[in-house]
Amino acid sequence: MSPLIRPLLFAALLAVTAAAPAYTLEEFKFDSPAQEQEFRALIAKLRCLVCQNESLAGSQAELAQDLRNEVYRMLRAGQSEDEILDFLVARYGDFVLYDPPLKPSTYVLWFGPFVIIGVAAFFMVRSVLRRKPTGDDAMSDAERERLRTLLDTDADIRAGEPSPPTPKQSI
């Protein structure tokens, strides 16, 4: 590639990128910073249904822009946060909320992990309590003797040699 073409290509790429429409939150104007705060907090709680792991605050999907406009319109019309959330849930379902509400159909979701931990803890505690000392782990005299020899030898070696350098902690 000639040295001239590269900057030209780069410029062309920039032009194309600049031409792509991007939604920003700047276009929404508010009466007060508090209202803007409320708007931003609200759209962060709502899911974009097209790109499902993005919130309305971050999504570039057209539908997300439509819903942002709707939330903006309702907020400006003086509707409360709950009214706006209820409006969207009534049309798009609970899925539009990032935080699933607590109700019978989501009990498994909310309480399931605690139930599983509880059951696991029950079995663990039971198996620990049931474990009786068998006497097998007591050492015989011969074993005791051997252990002492081993420990002594180890201590001798360490005493006679400089301690090994501590390995550098890798980052």
From the list 26-34, 89-97, 134-142, 151-159, the region that binds another protein by CB under 8 A is 89-97
The 5-44 contact track toward another protein, x by CB under 8 A, reads ----------------------------------------
**In the complex, minimum distance from the CB of residue 104 to another protein, in angstroms, rounded to a whole number:** 15
The 39-78 contact track toward another protein, x by CB under 8 A, reads ----------xx-x---------xx--xx--x--------
Tell me how many residues contact another protein (CB under 8 A): 15
134 binds another protein (CB under 8 A): no
Most distant pair of Cα atoms in the chain: their distance: 88
Contacting residues for 133 by C-beta, under 8 A, at least 6 apart = none
Q: Which residues bind another protein (CB under 8 A)?
A: 49-50, 52, 62-63, 66-67, 70, 89-95
